[in-house]
């Protein structure tokens, strides 16, 4: 256990203080594994000399979890009190991966989190390339907001900055899609990680995977979190996967069988909608992938 890993960076007014959680926060069954997460609001006791302790974690309005790595998996809260997720993809280099986007969107639905899709690197495709326009229309038709962006031309940067103001947002997407570049374009000079969280309760069982919390001048906070593949899908039972697809959810009550998994059951309203094009193959394939993972207990 590292000594410095017992402390958390806490924003108190305009200052960021390094404070230690009270030992009792680690006791009790529920708190034992994960008493404090990035984004938590806490009650602190200050000693008047720039130090102090974290006395209490206030109730969370939302949380984003995943199963911990290793044996005896338990829920690991990645971020607390989130307002929205920015799901970042590149339209080229690397190619947009709709199945991963759909998986993350499902995780957002599970958590009740508003999701905004960012399609970065639009400068890499010619203006008449149908790709970005196609994907934008595809996701807007499902009701999601899409922001095409480029850190090279500056497209979309003002819109993203406005979206982030006064909210706690998580940036998720594969590495290499341009998350750090976008954040630097949104706020040049941004470098300070103010929210590395305590690793104390992990007791060296995991490699350090801190999420960090960045503070923007416009009152926004952004978490850049690793491990996004199964983002938000912790412990979802197979039967509940379908309702995380916004366009499948209203169809499900019309399936003949209450326990329909929409794979090949007779009288399935989802299969009928895929057949006549009301649901796209792409989205349905993504559903099947996540369903298979849920059935194997891999989520
Ligand atoms: P991250 O891993 O998601 O944080 O991605 P980075 O911000 O590190 O960017 C990965 C690579 O993509 C870097 O070489 C960036 O220079 C490049 N990149 C980021 N944004 C853009 C963009 O809008 N257009 C182009 N052409 N390249 C970009
Ligand atoms: Zn069905």
Tell me: the pLDDT tens digits for 118-161?
Answer: 999 999 999 899 999 999 999 999 999 999 999 999 999 999 99
CA-nearest residue for atom 20, ligand 1, is: 178
Ligand 2 center from residue 276 Cα (angstroms): 15
Rounded to the nearest 5°, which phi and psi values hold at 241?
Answer: -65, -45
Confidence of residue 164 (pLDDT cuts 50, 70, 90): very high
pTM equals: 0.84
Residues with CB under 6 A from ligand 1: 120-121, 123-124, 150-152, 175-181
| Residues in contact with 133: Cβ distance below 8 Å, sequence separation at least 6, in sequence order | none
**Mutate which of 178, 190, 222 to test ligand 1's pocket (most atoms within 8 Å of Cβ)?**
178
CA-nearest residue for atom 17, ligand 1, is: 178
Ligand 2 center from residue 272 Cα (angstroms): 9
**Is residue 23 predicted with pLDDT exceeding 80?**
no
∠ CA 38-41-44, nearest 5°, is 115
Which is more confident, 136 or 48? 136
Distance CA 273, CA 13 (A): 52
Q: Which atom of ligand 1 is nearest to the CA of 149?
A: 23
CA-nearest residue for atom 11, ligand 1, is: 176
107: part of which helix (H) or strand (E)?
A: helix 98-111
CA-nearest residue for atom 19, ligand 1, is: 178
Ligand 2 center from residue 237 Cα (angstroms): 15
């Amino acid at each position: 256990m590292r000594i410095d890993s017992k402390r958390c960076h806490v924003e108190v007014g305009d200052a960021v203080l390094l404070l230690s959680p009270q030992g009792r926060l680690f006791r009790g069954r529920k708190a034992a594994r994960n008493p404090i997460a990035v984004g938590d609001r806490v009650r602190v006791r200050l000693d008047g000399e720039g130090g102090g302790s974290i006395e209490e974690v206030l109730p969370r309005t939302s949380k984003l979890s995943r199963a911990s790595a290793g044996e005896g998996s338990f829920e690991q809260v990645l971020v607390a009190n989130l307002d929205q997720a920015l799901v970042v993809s590149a339209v080229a280099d690397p190619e947009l991966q709709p199945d991963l986007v759909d998986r993350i969107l499902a995780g957002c639905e599970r958590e009740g989190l508003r999701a905004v899709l960012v399609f970065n690197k639009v400068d890499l495709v010619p203006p008449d390339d149908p790709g970005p326009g196609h994907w934008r229309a595809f996701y807007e038709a499902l009701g999601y907001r899409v922001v095409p962006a480029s850190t090279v031309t500056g497209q979309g940067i003002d819109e993203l900055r406005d979206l982030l103001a006064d909210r706690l947002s998580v940036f998720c997407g594969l590495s290499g899609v341009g998350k750090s570049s976008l954040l630097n374009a949104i706020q040049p000079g941004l470098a300070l990680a103010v929210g590395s969280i305590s690793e104390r309760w992990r007791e060296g069982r995991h490699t350090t995977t801190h999420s960090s919390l960045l503070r923007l001048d416009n009152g926004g906070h952004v978490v850049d979190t690793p491990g996004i593949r199964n983002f938000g899908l912790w412990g979802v039972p197979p039967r509940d996967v379908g309702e995380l697809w916004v366009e499948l959810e209203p169809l499900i009550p019309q399936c003949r069988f209450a326990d329909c998994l929409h794979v090949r059951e007779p009288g399935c309203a989802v299969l009928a909608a895929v057949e006549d094009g009301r649901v796209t193959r792409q989205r349905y394939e993504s559903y099947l992938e996540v369903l298979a993972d849920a059935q194997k207990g891999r989520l």
